[in-house]
Structure 1
Amino acid sequence: MSAAPELRRNSLDLPEAVEAARAQYAARRPRSAALHAGALEVLAGGNTRTVIAYEPFPAAMVRGEDCRLWDLDDHAYLDLCGEYTAGLFGHSEPRIHDALHAVLRRGINFASVGPGEEKLARLICGRFPSIERVRFTNSGTEANLMALTAARAFTGRAKIMAFRGGYHGGVLTFPITGASLATLPLPFVMADYNDNDSAAAVARANAADLAVILVEPMQGSGGCIPARPDFLATLRALADETGAVLIFDEVMTSRHSAGGVQARLGITPDMTTLGKYIAGGMSFGAFGGRADIMALFGGKLPHAGTFNNNVLSMAAGGVAMGEIFTAEVAEALYQRGEALRARLNAVGAAAGVPLSFTGIGSMLTAQFRIPAPDRPYVPTPGEEQLRELFFFDMLEAGIYLARRGMVALSLPVADADLDRFVAAVADFAENRAELLRADGVTG
């Protein structure tokens, strides 16, 4: 459905347009509003996952099928959020469902090793160039924490070089605006993303005690900002020069080829962290790398976790990575995403408004500035309001994406779905043109 006429009035200024969009959203979702009111009585903040919370209240989803979602108020959506890349296989992949049902019939918690664990490990080691040995966790956050632990123990050093705008989990977040109160108090030294000189200066200044260089090949939470290949190559050289362990956080970007961005670019880190989609939608994380580093877990370093090798994640992961997400499927998804981003950027250019999309392959984020940014930035208040308006306008059009404007395609998304999204963005560019020109950033 298209945006309501009252939301198209060019006479509205940006704050008024956002408020009108919020009011229309709230009026159409009384059941979600009631659920949120009740949740506030027992859940801190009314939810247990900050990224899915937004004003005035989040829409509560109750059913999914393929790439469709239905909320508590019976609205249907095209799901382009893709569970922030974890929902790669959609909501109803029959092969994954069959594997999970078979496991449930045999039992759930065995407190032992099992064949599913070895099978999934072998699949992962066979795909990612840097991973000679691997261990499993329950999330990407845990995977990054354990990789950092391993690298610091292996080098006998303490400091961790990370990048402004980066995100490596709920307790490892580095906003461009400064430190996060949620981030663990480890000895981080910060550099600027996609800035070779900044990285070199920080690495060399801390070389004697630098244990880790931790980087996303594309900053996901930071706005789908891809790392330049020369930047990643510089980090590889700096790790060799200083003796630090180079870790690629490919929790999100591993979907961009059979072997992730590292395989696509031919730049191999010492360790890699994984998560999100690999267990077919179940809770999952993994960290792995060179055999000599990972050998620490044969004795010196303990690594516990009741559900690290839970039978549901192991079974679903074996099917997801062994049967469904083949190299050919990964490449086709990558190319579809590249084509989609080009189409969306053409929409903004044709409308003559500051609207661009950054990303790699099947991941992209709307930006309300031109040219498209190549590094994280502090958005203006106008850009933040445009982002919120874009989110609500897409919901009104029946398209669900991340509040921050991020899209992660799932395999069930069809060409007609992509056409629908492009048309909705074109409507937004036309109907909100005056606001975009007045409040977006150009130059």
Structure 2
Amino acid sequence: MNQGFAASNRAGTRVGQRSKDSFGRAWLVFPDGTSRVTIERDSVPLYIERGTGSYLFDVDGRRFLDLNGNFTTLIHGHAFAPVVEALTHQLQRGSCFANPTESEIKLAELLCGRIPRVDRVRFVNTGTEAVLFAIKAARAFTGRTKIAKLEGAYHGAYDWGEVSLAATPDNWGDPTAPRSTAFYRGMPASVLDEVVVLRFNDVEGVRRLLSLHAQKLAAVVLDPMPSRGGLIAPTPDFIVAVQETARNNGILVIADEVLNLRQGFRGASARYGLVPDLVTMGKIIGGGLPIGAIGGREDVMKVFDASAGRPLLSQGGTFSANPLSMTAGLAAMRHLDHTTFEYLEILGNFVRDGISRAISNRGAPLCVTGAASLFRIHPMARVPNDYREAHPAPEGATLMKQLTRFFAENGIILPLGAAASISTPMTRADAEFIVDVFAGFLDTHQEMLDAIEVRT
């Protein structure tokens, strides 16, 4: 363990007394003491008082380097000055109106001018809504009902998007024909019947399954690099297989870039050669406020057109395109230029390369995946190719919980089983800190590492 790591132990323990007290109060008003299932807790969650730049400060006054960024949303970190200024200015003029504002036009113009295949945009409030309406738009445009999606990929809290989200070796079925599995008790069987499940990077499988169900498929929903599915890069052959088979069979391609739009100035689809018909966006385009957006080809987006009466697909929302989210998003996106993305890429490469070197130097049965400003550590020696390969064995899952715990004890918030993200206020020193803490974990947990089955 080097001196930089030894000097960096800022937190000491995972959770302070005020967080424990707050959690006790929360149990009296929330079903399990939390307001959303995504809140991570190692028996007790960490309660935050404020965030500044790349750091969080908990209610007990301790500082943590934030690699969660509210699930990759905060690409500029916390309290980004241009966003604070834009919001302050807008709040003095009103927070929401039934009428449109010029701010929504400006943000839409930016997205249409930057993201390929985004000819028209409709704003909603969450990534879930964006995917929900993209699927409905594909159905309205094609007149078909089924969708195809990737096993293990997260597309928000929408029944069809949740199919096979949490498939396990006990229920995921044949590798050549994945089973549609329910995400929650009571999910209608009819929903399962309407979803064709694909394996990521399975070229032959995607061609066969899309062709087999082509007459009923409205769309294939594809996250170019699914976070929950392993944050694994798509192979060029897989992208081509999806693209060609969909085009040949009149199936729309929906690129879910709610998370991965942050992979570059033009988004993830452009990075990997995907040319979608619809694109769902969120997270970074809202500057830290709730937002979602559906964009796409002009003819497909025409299903939302109500200028001549009832549209093929009606979409509204009391807070859709609210001026706070629009102005915050515009401020954030204007400060994401080519130079900024290059900086994030450099930091991301430094962290991934540093983690890989630490693994190699110690012969640890771990690996790291990701791209641009995203990374994820896996409890297996070989880089996985899809969700099934990335699914950890019990001892691997235990190791990852301990890794997250160790990071918290040493002043870093590392997401468990999801993408970790770099933000623009982070420095080379922050990146070195991440690598040092990871190396420290390897040096102090050899017994747990020895228990990991090396997959060949």
TM-based fold match above 0.5: yes
CA RMSD of aligned residues (A): 1.8
Counterpart among 334, 342, 348 of residue 359 in structure 2? 348
**SS of the counterpart of 1:44?**
coil
Match runs of 1:174-253 below 5 Å: 174-177=165-168, 178-181=181-184, 186=191, 187-253=194-260
CA deviation map 1:172-194 (0-9, x unaligned): 33223243018786311111111
CA deviation map 1:9-39 (0-9, x unaligned): xxxxxxxxxxxxxxx856x522212211211
Conserved 8 A contact 1:47-1:53? no
Q: Which amino acid aligns with 2:353?
A: A
Q: In the aligned structure 2, how far is the partner of 1:406 from the partner of 1:128?
A: 22
Counterpart in 2 of 1:283? 290
**SS of the counterpart of 1:130?**
coil
1:274 aligns with 2:281: yes
Counterpart in 2 of 1:170? 157
Counterpart among 66, 90, 104 of residue 79 in structure 1? 66
Conserved 8 A contact 2:228-2:418? no
Counterpart in 1 of 2:414? 401
CA deviation map 1:110-139 (0-9, x unaligned): 211010000000100111111111111111
User: What's the CA shift for 1:301?
Assistant: 1.5
Q: In the aligned structure 1, how far is the partner of 2:265 from the partner of 2:452?
A: 40
1:337 aligns with 2:348: yes
Counterpart in 1 of 2:171? none
Match runs of 1:282-301 below 5 Å: 282-298=289-305, 299-301=311-313
Counterpart in 1 of 2:33? 46
Counterpart in 1 of 2:87? 100
Residue ranges of structure 2 left out of the alignment (5+ in a row): 169-180, 306-310
Identity %: 35
User: What's the CA shift for 1:215?
Assistant: 0.8
- Stretches of 4+ moved more than 3 A in 1? 1-4, 182-186
Q: In the aligned structure 2, how far is the partner of 1:75 from the partner of 1:105?
A: 33
Q: Which amino acid aligns with 2:195?
A: F
Q: Which moved more, 1:299-308 or 1:419-428?
A: 299-308
CA deviation map 1:254-282 (0-9, x unaligned): 11111112222332111110001111111
Counterpart in 2 of 1:369? 380
Q: Which moved more, 1:389-398 or 1:175-184?
A: 175-184
CA deviation map 1:25-67 (0-9, x unaligned): 56x5222122112111111211122111323111111111001
Q: In the aligned structure 2, how far is the partner of 1:148 from the partner of 1:194?
A: 22
Conserved 8 A contact 2:49-2:57? yes
CA deviation map 1:311-361 (0-9, x unaligned): 111111111112x01123123312321232122111101111112111111
Q: In the aligned structure 2, how far is the partner of 1:25 from the partner of 1:406?
A: 23
Q: In the aligned structure 1, how far is the partner of 2:440 from the partner of 2:453?
A: 17
Q: How many residues align?
A: 422
Q: In the aligned structure 1, how far is the partner of 2:229 from the partner of 2:32?
A: 23
Counterpart in 2 of 1:411? 424
Residue ranges of structure 1 left out of the alignment (5+ in a row): 5-23
Q: Kindly tell me: are residues 384 and 104 of structure 1, through their superposed partners in 2, closer, same or farther at Cα, counting changes over 3 Å?
A: same
Q: In the aligned structure 1, how far is the partner of 2:418 from the partner of 2:440?
A: 16
Q: Kindly tell me: are residues 133 and 242 of structure 1, through their superposed partners in 2, closer, same or farther at Cα, counting changes over 3 Å?
A: same
Q: In the aligned structure 1, how far is the partner of 2:42 from the partner of 2:440?
A: 24
Conserved 8 A contact 2:104-2:321? yes
Conserved 8 A contact 1:256-1:331? no
1:321 aligns with 2:333: yes
User: What's the CA shift for 1:3?
Assistant: 8.5
Q: In the aligned structure 2, how far is the partner of 1:338 from the partner of 1:311?
A: 36
Q: Kindly tell me: are residues 72 and 228 of structure 1, through their superposed partners in 2, closer, same or farther at Cα, counting changes over 3 Å?
A: same
CA deviation map 1:170-227 (0-9, x unaligned): 2333223243018786311111111011111211110111111001000112221222
User: What's the CA shift for 1:75?
Assistant: 1.7
Q: In the aligned structure 1, how far is the partner of 2:236 from the partner of 2:325?
A: 33
Q: Which amino acid aligns with 1:357?
A: V
User: What's the CA shift for 1:241?
Assistant: 1.2
Counterpart in 2 of 1:18? none
Counterpart in 2 of 1:115? 102
TM-score, L = length of structure 1: 0.91
Q: In the aligned structure 2, how far is the partner of 1:51 from the partner of 1:402?
A: 10
Conserved 8 A contact 2:375-2:419? yes
Match runs of 1:132-143 below 5 Å: 132-143=119-130
Q: Which amino acid aligns with 2:415?
A: A
CA deviation map 1:354-377 (0-9, x unaligned): 121111111111101111212112
Q: Which amino acid aligns with 2:57?
A: W
